[in-house]
Amino acid sequence: MKINEPSRISSINPYTKQQDSKLARQDTGKVKQKDNVQISPEAKELQELLAASANHPTDEARVQELQELKQQVSTGTYHVDAGKIAEKLLPYLK
C-alpha cells in the first residue's frame, strides 16, 4: 500500500524549489555579494577610548580610592556635603 507517491512529495515541498532556484542562479555566473560591515566614527572613537582606559595607570589609584570609600561607609565616617549635592541637582531641577 502506497501512502505518498514520490512525485507528489517533491511538488508540495517548497524548500526544494527554493534550493533548485538558488543552484540555477549560481550556475549563471553571477558574482555573489559579500557581507559588508561598517563601523561608525562614534563607535571607533569609543573603541579607542576603551583601549586607552584599559591601559590607564590610574586604575590602581581608583581601586584604592574605592576601597577607602567602602571602609568609610562601613565605619560610618563618610561625610556627604549637602551643598555640593544641591549644586549638582539644581541644573536638573530647572
Tens-place pLDDT, residues 19-63: 666 665 555 566 778 888 999 999 999 998 888 776 665 678 888
Residue 69 has pLDDT above 90, yes or no: yes
3-state secondary structure of 34: coil
Asked whether the whole model's pTM tops 0.75, one would answer: no
Q: What is the pLDDT confidence band of residue 71, given thresholds at 50, 70 and 90?
A: very high
Q: Higher model confidence: residue 32 or residue 64?
A: 64
Q: Where are the domains of the chain?
A: 67-94
**Alpha carbons 23 and 30: distance in angstroms, whole number:** 11
One-letter amino acid of 8: R
| Mean pLDDT (the chain, rounded) | 78
**Whole-angstrom distance, CA of residue 76 vs CA of residue 70:** 10
